[in-house]
Structure 1
């Protein structure tokens, strides 16, 4: 299926890391129900691995990964779960306005969430762990085909398991499904054909200190989630009345754009800078999980254990990167 053992390990690591980052570290799947992750492994694991293989084979960069992450979000949330338009699933229709039948705050939250935390962060982490492999494909052509089949099965598995039990009276209208498929096709074309041709060499210059990048990504991640996801008993986004929800939606969009612009304009990143940005985003994302997804002591304890394991593994990777770069291995986490 792959050309060498290192590639196989990298591929299988990505298959496991993707659902763990997206679901476990946010607490949406609590430890007491960890078996549910098995349901997500085909769509997350195979889906994200497929995205990584297609993007890297066609010469795409991180912008292509993000664009394909939006495709992933449209497929999972729009087609498999039907949550972007369902009037009942996850109470998403109650968060705020529903223009053209679309759960707008839920959509604004989840499409970027999947692009960043379901797709980009797992790929970036695994490429740091197996950085000597670089951006070379992990799979041979046959492996890519099998991965695509497994991902498609994962979409079907999610479709026949969650919506019938959580929202049995809603079926995605055919015209809406066609619109979603058209958006997926356009985004995939841009990601895999247009953006690779527009890639520029990395920007030169001195990047901010790694801890500053971590702080920016941490604040941006927590702020984006808090502005859109109703938590702590709130019925609507950002604790505002339903009619005012467009205000936090606009603030979240502005925050995302400003953060993306800031990160895109900083050059000279090393692996330590990348890990610092990833770590800041992950820690803040898990901190928000405590506020939003732990309604009882067992769930809070379970997420605390996951957070501790996550931080330990991030620190271990940081020490490895520092050692490889010639920095003393005993340097503290703050020196990332």
Structure 2
């Protein structure tokens, strides 16, 4: 049984609370707003008001996943597995979108495509499973955690919350989850077996998160340029978003994600791998998400083109500024990094 050292003392309140607030906001923005599908895209005040629900639903989970991982001395495998678990909880138990297949003829074409990848006996669409759960792993939790930690590299490996802070995050998440569940459960078609199955999968992922640990062995090969890491991951994120919702598309998507995961694991064990590489992988995910928003038609189809493109451009510009700030802070913290 590995020995886990006691967590270091909390950093200064101002630094850690700025980091917590940043993650609380970036998580829901990355999850819901960057891609530009919301019918409130042309109403900035409504988007801001939406964060009152989305920050407790997504942001608190991102904060708690990061907090649990850093407190227990674990790494990215734990973050990714916990992200997958909460992705299943969100899409399978809270809003239950995994089991909701009703088509609305008033929505854009991308939201009314026939489900051709339904898994027999489960009532789950494979393409939707990758989109919802995979989307939560990458854009709701993992990428925002990596970017915000890069913005605060001096406290990236330390805990940010005390017991009261953790309790507040849990309470806010429970409140947000209850509001969404009460709003969507009446329209849900999920059966008891499906809900139990989702709960079992989530529990298994959580158990795996506390079993797996990052490898300690390091290769003597040199890590690739962080520009190369960003380019490769960016192509993979783009493909995952643009592949068609068919069995061929699902298969290619799965293979691409497996190959990307294998590459990142190998690269992360090489000499010289650092936070800049992690930022490159996470930052490319945000850039792709914001960039593809220009191709997405918002739900309802009643958003004016110029307003939509202005909001898309503002989101992309905000991502660029945030990533530049994170890279600058990492450069100051790691002046000798590649």
TM-score, length-normalised on structure 2? 0.83
Counterpart in the other structure of 1:185: 203
Change (3 A) 1:14 1:195: same
Change (3 A) 1:210 1:169: closer
Question: How far apart, in 1, do the equivalents of 2:68 and 2:287 lie?
Answer: 29
- List aligned pairs for 1:285-304, cutoff 5 A: 285-293=289-297, 296-297=304-305, 298-304=307-313
Q: 1:195 and 2:199 equivalent?
A: no
Counterpart in the other structure of 1:225: 241
Counterpart in the other structure of 1:62: 76
Counterpart in the other structure of 2:4: none
- Describe the SS at the equivalent of 1:87: coil
Question: How far apart, in 2, do the equivalents of 1:52 and 1:324 lie?
Answer: 21
CA contact (8 A) 2:37 2:297 kept: yes
Question: How far apart, in 2, do the equivalents of 1:138 and 1:207 lie?
Answer: 30
Question: How far apart, in 1, do the equivalents of 2:171 and 2:103 lie?
Answer: 27
Change (3 A) 1:93 1:54: farther
Question: How far apart, in 2, do the equivalents of 1:203 and 1:282 lie?
Answer: 29
- List aligned pairs for 1:62-141, cutoff 5 A: 62-88=76-102, 94-99=114-119, 100-141=122-163
- Describe the SS at the equivalent of 1:59: coil
Question: How far apart, in 2, do the equivalents of 1:252 and 1:318 lie?
Answer: 29
Change (3 A) 1:129 1:203: farther
Question: How far apart, in 1, do the equivalents of 2:169 and 2:332 lie?
Answer: 35
CA contact (8 A) 1:15 1:44 kept: yes
Task: Give the aligned length.
Answer: 307
CA contact (8 A) 1:61 1:199 kept: no
CA contact (8 A) 2:153 2:329 kept: no
CA contact (8 A) 1:46 1:147 kept: yes
Decide which moves more: 94-103 or 36-45.
94-103
- Describe the SS at the equivalent of 1:205: strand
Indicate the structure with greater helix content: 1
Q: Which has the higher contact order (CA 8 A, sep 6+)?
A: 2
5+ residue gaps, structure 1, are: 229-236, 238-244, 328-334
Q: CA deviation at 1:54?
A: 1.5
Counterpart in the other structure of 1:150: 172
Q: CA deviation at 1:285?
A: 1.9
TM-score, length-normalised on structure 1? 0.84
- Residues 229-279 of structure 1, C-alpha deviations (whole Å, 9 max, x = no match): xxxxxxxx2xxxxxxx11111011111111111111112322222222222
Instruction: State the Cα RMSD in Å.
Output: 2.4
Change (3 A) 1:254 1:215: same
Q: CA deviation at 1:219?
A: 0.4
Q: CA deviation at 1:311?
A: 0.8
CA contact (8 A) 1:17 1:45 kept: yes
Q: Choose which of 193, 207, 210 in structure 2 pairs with 1:175.
A: 193
- Residues 199-239 of structure 1, C-alpha deviations (whole Å, 9 max, x = no match): 425555311112111110110000011115xxxxxxxx2xx
Q: CA deviation at 1:93?
A: 7.9
